[in-house]
Amino acid sequence: MSDSLIQIYVHALWTTKNREPFILPELKDPLCKHIQAELEKMNCQLIIINSMPNRIHCLFSICSTKSISFIIKQIKGSSSRYINLQYSLPNKLEWQIGYAAFSVSKLALNKVYEYIKFQHDSHGFKSMANK
């Protein structure tokens, strides 16, 4: 095969520091759009992103040149920097040190997509999933 084909899908999630409910409705869209832009810069394709007040769920495909740890580190660092510089908030957005990342088979993409999309519903909040 002369060309490479990479189809690796990742469901990643990370939480705010001490699981503080920092992701308010007015921050959700700008934060999710910034994360999408960061993924695109790294040649990763966002499939869906959604947040709860204290965490982000993100399903994306990764490129062949970046590790999952590099991608998540870049997203977390740039997104907290962006929010803290762009918004005058009483407290700074900080993420927990760790994260979770799960491989997702192509056959399970729809199931994981629906799980992320309806996070708010399953936790008693109105669904506001972004694609």
Nearest to 125 by CA among 50, 22, 68: 50
pLDDT of res. 126: 44
- Residues 6 or more apart whose CB falls under 8 angstroms from that of 65 comprise 43
Question: Buried b vs exposed e over 111-121: b needs ≥16 C-beta within 10 Å?
Answer: ebbebbbebbe
Task: For the chain, report the end-to-end CA distance as a whole number of angstroms.
Answer: 33
- Flag residues of the chain having pLDDT under 50: 123-131
Position of tokens 């394709």? 45
Nearest to 129 by CA among 46, 68, 61: 46
pLDDT of res. 1: 54
pLDDT of res. 109: 97
pLDDT of res. 125: 45
Helical segments of 1-131, H only = 25-41, 68-86, 109-117, 119-122
